[in-house]
Structure 1
Amino acid sequence: MTSHTTRQRAAVLEGLAGCKDFVSAQELYALLTANRTRVGLTTVYRTLRDLEAAGGVDVVRDDSGERLYRQRPDGGHQHYLICRSCGHSRPVDSGVVEEWADHITAATGFTAVEHTVELSGICTGCQPSPPKDR
């Protein structure tokens, strides 16, 4: 992001930091405006794009292809398992994926290699209860 952070961009950063799961730009905008934060949708999109370019957010796509954002933890890039029903997400150990990506990078001579791994399922809270025995 630029060294110049406006009040609106600061509000977007604060709003994103308050989200525990991935959120779309539209959802973040709705959350901000519901909290009476005066910010434009364009500012939300620009701020998220700048954060992505700077490595400040993790990005996944939902079933429709919409980009979803989550503030990147201090530990850096992570992969997540996301519930297809409620959207709850949790980080997963992805060391083997990172090692594989590093191997492919070294073996091919490519540089600036990026990768996307998206894992989804149904969390325990959204799974149907097993039928009760009678």
Structure 2
Amino acid sequence: MSNGVGQPARRSTRARSLIWQALESTDRFLSAQALHEVLSDRGEDVGLATVYRALQMFADDGDVDCLRDSDGEMLYRKCLRDAHHHHLICRRCGRTREVEGAGIETWADEVANHHGFSNVTHTFELYGVCGECQAAN
């Protein structure tokens, strides 16, 4: 877990370590509630509010990727890459792959420049059905 650039080191706690371990054990995006359920199933006594706070801290530090699902719920996943990237996500099982998108980056820069914007950030997620889910049908 990084401490972010220019930020003071954060005190490690048992709960944060357990939450981090749960994030490391999956390649899927999880809601705070789902992550809390994983911890409960493992017999760990970590409060839901603690899970939310830890996930926000990890997101602020750039250690987790965040996205909203179709219902607007925030989902979290441990970052596998330090560099900017995008996600390809299975609509059925939630399996996620990190992907690069040089064409998207070029397009975003061109659109921003055309409209006189600078310092633009973006997210881009692709949703589909993975090969394993397709084979299951």
TM-score tier, shorter chain, comes to 0.7 to 0.9
Gaps of 5+ in 2: 4-8
Find the counterpart in structure 1 of residue 44 from structure 2: 37
Q: 2:118 aligns with which of 78, 92, 110?
A: 110
1:72 aligned onto 2:79: yes
Task: Please identify, of 81-90 and 66-75, the stretch whose mean Cα deviation from structure 2 is larger.
Answer: 66-75
Deviations 1:26-72 (A, max 9, x none): 11110011111121101111111111111111112222111111111
Q: 2:65 aligns with which of 43, 58, 64?
A: 58
**Alignment check: 8 A CA contact 1:58 1:78 kept:** no
TM-score, length of structure 1 as denominator length: 0.82
Structure 2 Cα separation of the partners of residues 129 and 14 of structure 1:
29
Task: Please identify, of 21-30 and 95-104, the stretch whose mean Cα deviation from structure 2 is larger.
Answer: 95-104
Find the counterpart in structure 2 of residue 124 from structure 1: 131
Which amino acid in the other structure matches residue 49 of structure 2?
A: T
Structure 2 Cα separation of the partners of residues 129 and 53 of structure 1:
38
Instruction: Give, in angstroms, the shift of residue 18 of structure 1.
Output: 1.2
Larger Rg: 1
TM-score, length of structure 2 as denominator length: 0.80
- SS class of match (1:58): strand
Percent of paired sites with the same residue:
40
Structure 2 Cα separation of the partners of residues 104 and 23 of structure 1:
32
